[in-house]
Amino acid sequence: MSSSVSTSPLLLLFSFATSLLLSNAFPAQHYPLHHHRRPRSAAHNYRDALTKSILFFEGQRSGKLPPNQRVTWRRDSGLSDGSAMHVDLVGGYYDAGDNVKFGFPMAFTTTMLSWSVIEFGGLMKGDLQNAREAIRWGTDYLLKATAKPDTIYVQVGDAKKDHACWERPEDMDTPRNVLKIDRNTPGSEVAAETAAALAAASLVFRRTDPTYAKLLVRRAIRVFGFADKYRGSYSNGLRSFVCPFYCSYSGYQDELLWGAAWLQKATRNPMYLQYIQVNGQELGADETDNTFGWDNKHVGARILLSKAFLVQKLQSLRDYKGHADNYICSLVPGTPLSQAQYTPGGLLFKMSDSNMQYVTSTSFLLLAYAKYLTSSHQVVNCGGVVVTSSRLRSVAKKQVDYLLGDNPLRMSYMVGYGPRYPQRIHHRGSSLPCIAAHPAKIQCSSGFSIMNSKSPNSNILVGAVVGGPDQHDNFPDQRSDYEQSEPATYINAPLVGSLAYLAHSFGQL
């Protein structure tokens, strides 16, 4: 799991010549969603990667597994979760390679899975139902966690004690402590992100399950009201439990803006539009940060609100096009305003700890924004350099292709995709023999002999995307190296949308 989100120093900038090469590497007339050109042949099977990126979530499930569970080396786990507080908190996801359920990244994962389906679900064909089920596994849990007004259960498990063990989730015997936020111990960032997840998911289920969608949006409204009324960071009241694992470093303002943006989209209630207009500046709408992930949502909110202006023609949100453009200009290599750092092999590099989460989230935002620009016939002007939607798609595709194997090591960073991928991921259930192979309980500390060994993982966690290489494109493939070798739900969630778009673009769907 991520334990640090400090921004890396800016070490490298691509030259303008490199940017020209990049833009030429992808056709200028990319295939917008409403055009049907003959696709070029693709170097990657994006459809296969899409299927696997969604399958991964089944390997992260906690609770009672359904009859159609496809990751069969996993079994039921955490069936008494919540009992310490006399509530039902069975279900949800383990965030990464451990056995704790952290509500903050789980909510963000659910929001990004939902956004992936909202933008690109129409292209997913047979994978759409599995994507919906992945979202529902998250929202069913979030509904349980928010069942009591002005209370959200935000964590199950003691992270420090969990990390002192290397055991399968099915064998868990570490304390399943339950942490909550309420009026006395507020947590606006977790509450607002949870509201965003519920609101975004309501849009996913609006046609297929309208009753469920209404339940989600009603709960989102209530939870956002709690987030906004009782303002405070959960990293203050629950610091000893949630830090350094999922401390909120960026504060809660970004989540309030993000949550309001999703509620505006889900409800079309003018109240949320007014909230954004009144509070946007105070909540950091025009800050120059360019990192998007489980902690900082400013950039995501800008892109989402720019859609309301570009596509829905909400003139009052015109400024968000400018805010979104500033982000794009900071990112695209070769523009005068570019600040982004890339590895020698071309990977966006933000930080050493789980860098791939920023690669997948950024790629998704680029493809989503390209879609909005295309539909409104607009471009981005970066200090006199015009950046088109096809240029954004080119940058995003290059990042996804690197992840799938176009890199100096010729290694796919998605487990189970391509001929060469990480064999020793930092993941308890994957590394230890499964129940079928080893029915006897594996005690807390006895699993460390396997964790510290060089043997490949016993179970292939298909679709898992790991933290990825360092700033020099190196990847040691060591289980103990959680910064580079640990997968996480929030790495995969935005990738689902990007892969759906690319698979469609190359005629694979």
Q: Catalytic residues, which ones? A: 426, 477, 486
Q: What are phi and psi of 349, to 5 degrees?
A: -125, 115
CA dist 439 and 405 (Å) reads: 36
CA dist 159 and 99 (Å) reads: 8
Tell whether omega for the bond before 244 is within 30 degrees of 0, i.e. cis: yes
CA dist 397 and 504 (Å) reads: 13
Entry field: residues in the chain: 509
Partner residues linked to 101 by β-bridges? 156
CA dist 326 and 288 (Å) reads: 8
Torsion of CA 69, 75, 81, 87, to 10 degrees: 40
Can you state the percent helix, strand and coil of the chain, rounding each to 5? 45, 5, 45
Chain-centre distance for alpha carbon 50: 14
Q: Which of 42, 49, 154, 48 is nearest to 95 (CA)?
A: 154
Burial class (CB within 10 angstroms; exposed 0-12, middle 13-18, buried 19+) of 344: exposed
Helices (H), 6-102: 16-24, 46-59
Three-state secondary-structure class, residue 414 = strand
Tokens of 277: 């207009």
Helices (H), 342-462: 356-376, 389-404, 428-431, 448-451
Partner residues linked to 61 by β-bridges? 93
CB 463 within 8 A of CB 55: yes
Chain-centre distance for alpha carbon 96: 12
DSSP 91: -
**In angstroms, what CA-CA distances link 207 with 90, 304, 311, 501?**
27, 21, 21, 21
Three-state secondary-structure class, residue 94 = coil
The residue assigned the tokens 């309208």 is 210
Three-state secondary-structure class, residue 386 = strand
CB 199 within 8 A of CB 105: no
Q: Which of 412, 419, 428, 507 is nearest to 469 (CA)?
A: 412
Name residues whose C-beta falls within 8 Å of residue 443's C-beta, 6 or more positions apart in sequence. 167, 171
